[in-house]
Amino acid sequence: MIEFYAFQALKTVTKSKIIKWVWIILAIAIYLNLFYTLFTTPRSAGQTKAFQFAAGFLITFLIPKLVLLIIMFGEDVVRVIQKLITWVGPGETKPLAGRRAFISKIALGLAAIPFTSFLYGIIKGRYNYKVLKYEIAFDDLPDAFDGFKITQISDIHSGSFTNKEKIQYGVDLINEQKSDIILFTGDIVNNKANEMDDWIDVFKNFEAPYGKFSILGNHDYGDYVDWNSKEDKKKNFQDVKEIHPKIGFDLLLNENRFIEKDGQKIAIVGVENWGKGFNQAGNLEEASKGINKEDFKILMSHDPSHWEYKVKQDELHYHLTLSGHTHGLQMGIEIPGFFRWSPSQYVYKQWAGLYEEFGRYINVNRGFGYHAFPGRVGIWPEITVIELKKGTSNA
């Protein structure tokens, strides 16, 4: 139905057989490429780059055609109503001359907006890194940590990368922030540990004087691959965990570490993945052993639903939680300070950016990499820099 109405719009505005055949052949090629990729890729391979681009081009062409369907179908509805009025009512209602062609031109013009946006998202948007900076004040922040800077990154998804120069630019941009500590909140791969092999030499260059700490995300467990055996899955999981020390990160598996500065300290707590409807290996109680309520705490938890359902009202009082996972669905509209929208907000209450409840904060990072759709439209890859301040709480 989408293809039929989209082609009707094209036919109305052009008589060129070449354009029509190019339109048809391109549509067929996109569908065939998707089906070929689906049927020739073994499930043991996980989500491949070939699948990402097949799905990406399908979305790039299909969503604009959906716009055409809505407008052209709507115009058909109006025409039917006019016909009914003509048959049952007095007088005669005639459509304006050339109205169909005019509507088709409007529809094609509007459809061009998502088409160019998605095309840009694939070519440029996936590497359009943005540094987002926040300053958060806490009454009980130890004095020594006033002005302490945290860089958060999340959702690297190394199995999707294709351009080492662009990734190196992103890593250099992270180092340019000169933060005291770097925290990575999960999903270092799509599925398999070997996806990171070509990128270790890039990501091992992070610099942070007070250390680099990380956790696991839902994709790091290998749950989305049809493994040949349980042993293969178990080995892959172990290999994923071993990636972190190779790039200089201390992987926290339901554990915590204290950062000391001038005789004072804050706690860095890292849980395994806990998500609504996903793997729930995260154990907040286990991760917080040895920590007191009065200690200042930064929690790393990959999925923001953990904060919503478990963390934000916990009696131990986690001052700041850092999450990722949503990617902001990699598509949406954001006008800073005025408007933002993404389909992700219908799934996650906290889907991107900084939120506060009960005097406790969560930042949901939009992700460094990309997954499924090989691009980003309006929701750009993010590097978060948070500066902790001693003072009256922002809440």
Q: Which of 161, 192, 158 is nearest to 43 (CA)?
A: 192
Instruction: Map residue 216 onto helix, strand or coil.
Output: coil
Domains of the chain: 2-123 (no CATH), 129-390 (3.60.21.10)
Residue 277, Cβ density class (10 Å: 0-12 exposed, 13-18 middle, ≥19 buried): exposed
Tokens of 178: 């000169």
Chain centroid, CA 25 distance in Å: 32
Q: Which of 246, 252, 225 is nearest to 236 (CA)?
A: 225
Tokens of 106: 């409007």
Say whether pLDDT at 97 is over 50: no
List the beta bridge partners of residue 251.
Answer: 214
Q: Are 210 and 181 in contact (CB under 8 A)?
A: yes
- pTM higher than 0.85: yes
Say whether pLDDT at 143 is over 70: yes
Mean pLDDT of the chain: 93
Q: What is the pLDDT of residues 168-187, one digit of tens each?
A: 999 999 999 999 999 999 99
Lowest mean pLDDT among 209-213, 227-231, 250-254, 389-393: 389-393
Q: Are 140 and 294 in contact (CB under 8 A)?
A: yes
Q: What is the pLDDT of residues 197-207, one digit of tens each?
A: 999 999 999 99
Tokens 């995300």, residue located: 217
Q: Are 136 and 260 in contact (CB under 8 A)?
A: no
Share of the chain above pLDDT 90, in %: 81
